Structure 1
């Protein structure tokens, strides 16, 4: 978000700077000045073109482990492409009055200022991380030579902001020190360590000859929703498209590629969620008010029903719905599925459940940031614990925000349907997200709104 705003400001400033050099100094041959306002109008084309190119080239991805030099080269390449597109636009629209000197100055200044901006911001972030802020907490599995080398790379590159909380190793005793961290258990302690420590990701540094152990570790990490990375080479163990990163000259492979891990993708989806949620609330406000009154009149109890669900990064939150059932004991309710002929439903509750009106208060969950409009449906903690043990890779759905509707739901998997098929669709969504998919799911939701709804 910060980079997008600053890049837009840099592009605008570069155009103004180029205009000033061209027309307000004697450095270049004189030419009739069409005025600053004339050239500022071109920002309507320049900003979308350049920001789209920056985004497409990956300049808004997290760059903890990227070198500033490689990013600078990318900026030069993209600005050349942007300049060619701008020249083409001027040619096609016959805008021959646009100063060629100004265009050249804009190309040079925008490239230079953007590189300087990135260097300053990257160095600032790296300085902040080297002082202990914005830290990622890492569990390293394997304290042998590869684990030690990994620790050395982290220590040499403090700007990355990784803190190794400890090592797990079957062949080295507890308490043994590896640089600044210690062995805190063996591999059988993995579940206990996950549940008792804050872990942002786990890095596996075990020799590939122990392939069976690695398989078990990867299954356990994904079962508990912890992101896994492997110091190569373990290509046969990739469960999905890998994302390859570098720390200095050491490659790190992220086992599961998640498009919404990219800051720009996350930002765009969040903005759309907020805008659409507000619009839908305004449009459906008469229905919201009328439903609230009918729920209150039809049966005693609160209008809004709150229930604990598990969301992004396994964090629990209260989901909102219009109450469609009789008030019941919470300790029994949280363990029960809703069935088609459920005796707990009120008459009006049956109607709003079949029409999905009971889900509308979740628009306020979206505004709070608990949910997204589109995403895997969230489940109750009790069932998350149950499915985590029964269904492989179930916890991967928690890599993204849960949604009011999702890919599984528009394909008919909601209510009393296959949980395994639902998770297959959820994982596909997590790994292949794009705006086109979200738009398609949004419109398909209206077509399939009443399918399996009870």
Structure 2
């Protein structure tokens, strides 16, 4: 390490405790904003003796609209003026809905009174939020609620970030140091000490309890920075990146900035929690249902495979799944049997001369993959995810393409984004890895649904290998 000694590695218990504290601290400020919004929107109801229900409903709808517009996402730069257009437009939409409801249902206090009080609330809500922001900034400047931040990069833009954060504690970030390729004195090192090289990122994140990572302009290549951030994506910290060429592109869509430098929050989808629980429940329900509904197809396919080659119906092979774990994958046999060594190391493609008529049909229609529904049901795989590969080829591809190992951050899938994008059989491994990593970093339940629908299209038009 260049400046500081390697920190003591905290125990898992210490990490869990600190993670819990930082989660509470991060959300405290936005509870303050929520309370301010409720007060700013709901206070006109106190002027009424009866008929408060429409105003209460208006307040709730406004809060939901604000949440949908990501107006409760924590910001570094706090400004009501930046949010004013979104606040006003969403509040007016809620008021319009409320006015229509009051008119249609004939509710008290009547449309005119409701409109007057709603417009009053719309005018006072930004003031209440401004007071909340002023309070939060004051608390941050006193050092309470600040989050531990690490800077990646030592070039001039990184120096500007470090200088701005050092001079303005109201951003709520306490820089502990920076990481970059080893070199002599660099601009950013005048404001914050170097803790080590980029390769030390996992040690620093764990040892110092880093809550925010700022990625400025670095001596390290962008590809290397991306690789290190992917490798530490499971750490509970936020990542902000300075966009390249930010000087000539508008910052309106980024929603946050440090001084005059726009920053984009990197959203790594959580690979646990309610959404992934729903994904697993869908895996169980859909795979079990498919096994029942497709039982006749499975039976006919098994008979056809046996008639072509009585040596065996099912093909079993060790594949690599989530976090490098191994499992036994099931398929209908489409090739004549080979020995274990060849099975583990031969790259079979559609031109293999051992493919019979049945095997070729199974591969073209993807019917050979149907037994993997059992792999999904028992938890080895998921419906949508990167396709699993054999250990021999995982080691080979990972050595050739560094991005390949990152595709094992999630369970393997029966179908995936790479497959429905035409990357099957003897196609570019590097391109497959890129598509798989794109899927992981942009995962949502809707993306899974989209890929399943695209898979149905591929199967119906027999676009298999």
User: When the two structures are superposed, what TM-score results if normalisation uses the length of structure 2?
Assistant: 0.56
Partner residue of 1:218?
222
Report the CA distance shift for 1:438/1:14 in structure 2 as closer, same or farther (over 3 A). Answer: farther
**Are 2:261 and 1:251 aligned?**
yes
The Cα offsets for residues 289-333 of structure 1, whole Å up to 9 and x where unpaired, read as: 998xx9xxx999x999764335xxxx545567447689997x997
Measured against aligned partners, the alpha-carbon deviations of 1:133-187 in whole angstroms (never above 9, x if no partner) come to 7x66x45232x665444334455547347654534342339xx9765632535xx
Structure 2 residue aligned with 1:410: 420
8 Å contact kept, 2:40–2:127:
no
Matches within 5 A, 1:111-130: 111=125, 115=129
Tell me the CA shift for residue 249 of structure 1. 0.6
Deviations 1:194-233 (A, max 9, x none): 6876598672435xxxxxxx6x711333455649976576
| 3-state SS, counterpart of residue 94 of structure 2 | helix
What's the secondary structure of 2:221's corresponding residue? helix
1:277 to 278, 283, 299: 283
Residue 65 of structure 1 corresponds to 76
2:190 paired with 1:184 = no
* Structure-2 separation of matches of 1:381 and 1:333: 11
Gaps of 5+ in 1: 22-26, 207-213
Give the 3 Å change call, closer, same or farther, for CA 446–113 of structure 1 in structure 2.
farther
Partner of 1:170: 183
Matches within 5 A, 1:440-451: 440-449=450-459, 451=462
Is it true that 1:308 corresponds to 2:312 in the alignment?
no
Aligned with 1:359 (options 341, 365, 372)? 372
Give the 3 Å change call, closer, same or farther, for CA 448–88 of structure 1 in structure 2.
Answer: farther
1:444 deviates by: 2.1
| 1:201 and 1:229 in contact (8 A); partners too | yes
Is the Cα contact below 8 Å between 2:331 and 2:372 reproduced in 1?
no
From 205, 221, 233, the equivalent of 2:217 is: 205
Distance 1:98 1:391 in 2: 67
- How many pairs does the alignment contain? 398
* Closer/same/farther in 2, CA of residues 104 and 398 from structure 1, 3 Å limit: farther
* Matching of residue 96 in structure 1 with residue 95 in structure 2: no
Structure 2 alignment gaps of length 5 or more: 1-22, 207-211, 234-238, 303-309
Q: 1:114 to 1:181 in 2, by over 3 A?
A: same
Deviation of the 1:67 alpha carbon: 1.6
- Tell me if structure 2 keeps the 8 A contact 1:169–1:183: no
Q: Distance in 1 between matches of 2:181 and 2:453?
A: 48
Q: 2: CA distance between counterparts of 1:380 and 1:178?
A: 49
CA distance in 2, matches of 1:126, 1:285: 57
Secondary structure in 1 aligned to 2:152? strand
